[in-house]
Structure 1
Amino acid sequence: MSLFAFRRPFEGLRAGRAKSRNSTEHSYGKCYKTTYRLCVLSVSAVIVASWVNLMCPGLRIFYCRITSVWLILLAMAAPAASAEQWGYVRWVYDGDTVILSDDRRVRYIGINAPEMAREQHPAEPYAKAATRANRELVYRKRTLLEVGREPADRYGRILAYVFLPDGRFVNEALVRSGVAVVLPKAPNLKYEKRLLAAQRKAMSAGKGMWHNWRHCRTRLVGNGRSKRFHHPSCSRAARIHPKNRVLFENLWDAFWDGYAPARGCFPTTPWLRRPPR
């Protein structure tokens, strides 16, 4: 994939890595402290269990119930300790992916930006605009990563909602600018409604890819369960269960309802017009 003629930011990289290391260590430090305390309490519970087993056989049932509750609380507390972390962005890969100073890759949850040029495929319309917008938001900045319920994708990238220190929601900002579309995917659906509201604002205002939109009739078949739409001729469209089948008269209606193109039927973005120069 082309890097849109961005120069590698050597200057300030060492300082950026130091900031990221400190912030990441702070986040992990809190996680380690929480985990340590949970381990201490767990060991204490085992000691008490042994004492109850030896001295008070009549309390075994009561203790089993208490232990069950404790295990549930332990399972709930463990992921919460590492749900948020800080990272310093040293490189913007494209409109929805960044690289942190510790070389971790972060893929924004709930949105999809047009693809930059890769191998034999040219850059899609608005790919450079999306990359530029993402760069203006996060490049060489400290960001808060709210990791999703599914923490990583099959490529090993962190799946996260990204926030700036001033509270701005990066995923939402890109959608509101019209350079990215909503891409819902379970189980990471926490901000789905908020992102869809941002997309509708961009569509209504004609921003980015929604500028001078052509409202041509194009029948589509949507899957209400996956929130993806297909060409009627697509083999996947025929396999959609009738109760999940949703019909659209055009692309605009599908995007307005929060559906995204199915990759199998829409490998590229043919509906997008080239941005005005």
Structure 2
Amino acid sequence: MHKKALPVSVPAAYAVMRLCLCTFLLACFACTAEAGLLRYDISSVPDGDTIVLAGGTVVRLRGIDAPEVGRNGHASGFYAHRAHQQLVGLLKKRQVLIDMEKSSRDRYGRVLADVYLPDRRLLSEVLVASGAAWLYQHADTPVGLRDTLLAAQRRAITAKTGMWRYVAGLDTPQGGYRGNRRSMRFFTQKCEAYYKISYRNVVHFDTLTESFMAGMAPARSCDVWPLQ
């Protein structure tokens, strides 16, 4: 004699359906996130935050900056060559993953993009976490990316990883540093902008470390970052 199957309650059936639907949507989201990533070969690595793809496309890693490598008679920034070698070392396989549909271009015509290593790690986060680059945010920097990079930067500073091992020992210029809460850049007295920040946006820092812990970056308009 066969036993009758117990009826499934409506709430229980509804819960099962919701679980299945959520699982399906998460799987679709993961597939969509991966779908846009395409593999690109690398031609060269000119500095610590830029790569050149095969074919000549110049890609700047979005959300970060690294000490400048000197060219045309200009001195290199402090730690620039080590930061450059750090990026070169990470790209030994000469391939990266990029979603070009989510990229943009800067005023120099370079592609700004989130670049991933073949193992799906975000390259900019790896560089910041290793103390080879810093957060360099703009108004259109995605909040999630900004928060991820700032958290990695603060951990690297606290652990004195990479360049942060040496930054604490650098001399502080007269007048310290002034940051602009609006642009998220900081300046020294030799910068004209040092004196033009609105009192509502100005913030003072005694050291480089304090400036970076606040998520600010050295202005490119004048040599705020120390030279080699």
Q: TM-score normalised by the shorter chain: which range applies?
A: 0.7 to 0.9
How far did residue 150 of structure 1 move? 6.8
> 1:126 corresponds to which residue?
79
Distance 1:238 1:96, change over 3 A: same
| CA distance in 2: counterparts of 1:89 and 1:140, whole angstroms | 9
> 1:112 corresponds to which residue?
65
| CA distance in 1: counterparts of 2:45 and 2:211, whole angstroms | 29
- Deviations 1:43-82, CA, capped at 9 Å, x for gaps: xxxxxxxxxxxxxxxxxxxxxxxxxxxxxxxxxxxxx9x9
The number of equivalent residue pairs is 191
Q: Partner letter of residue 169 of structure 1?
A: L
Q: Partner letter of residue 73 of structure 2?
A: Q
How far did residue 149 of structure 1 move? 6.7
| CA distance in 2: counterparts of 1:124 and 1:222, whole angstroms | 20
Q: Partner letter of residue 192 of structure 1?
A: R
Q: Partner letter of residue 121 of structure 2?
A: R
8 Å contact kept, 1:91–1:140: no
TM-score (norm. length: structure 1): 0.62
Distance 1:123 1:266, change over 3 A: closer
- Structure 2 gaps of 5+ residues are 1-32
| CA distance in 2: counterparts of 1:217 and 1:121, whole angstroms | 22
- Deviations 1:194-223, CA, capped at 9 Å, x for gaps: 111111111111111111422765522111
How far did residue 163 of structure 1 move? 0.8
How far did residue 249 of structure 1 move? 2.2
Structure 1 vs Structure 2: percent identity of aligned residues?
Answer: 38
| CA distance in 1: counterparts of 2:186 and 2:200, whole angstroms | 15
- Deviations 1:159-209, CA, capped at 9 Å, x for gaps: 011112312111011111111111112212341111111111111111111
> 1:194 corresponds to which residue?
148
> 1:50 corresponds to which residue?
none
| CA distance in 2: counterparts of 1:108 and 1:185, whole angstroms | 13
Q: Name which of 255, 259, 267 aligns with 2:212.
A: 255
| CA distance in 1: counterparts of 2:217 and 2:164, whole angstroms | 15
How far did residue 233 of structure 1 move? 5.7
TM-score (norm. length: structure 2): 0.74
Detail structure 1 runs of 4+ shifted over 6 Å in the superposition. Answer: none
| CA distance in 2: counterparts of 1:148 and 1:159, whole angstroms | 11
Q: Partner letter of residue 211 of structure 1?
A: R
RMSD: 2.5
What SS does structure 2 have at the residue aligned with 1:92?
strand
How far did residue 141 of structure 1 move? 3.2
> 2:199 corresponds to which residue?
242
> 2:19 corresponds to which residue?
none
What SS does structure 2 have at the residue aligned with 1:93?
strand
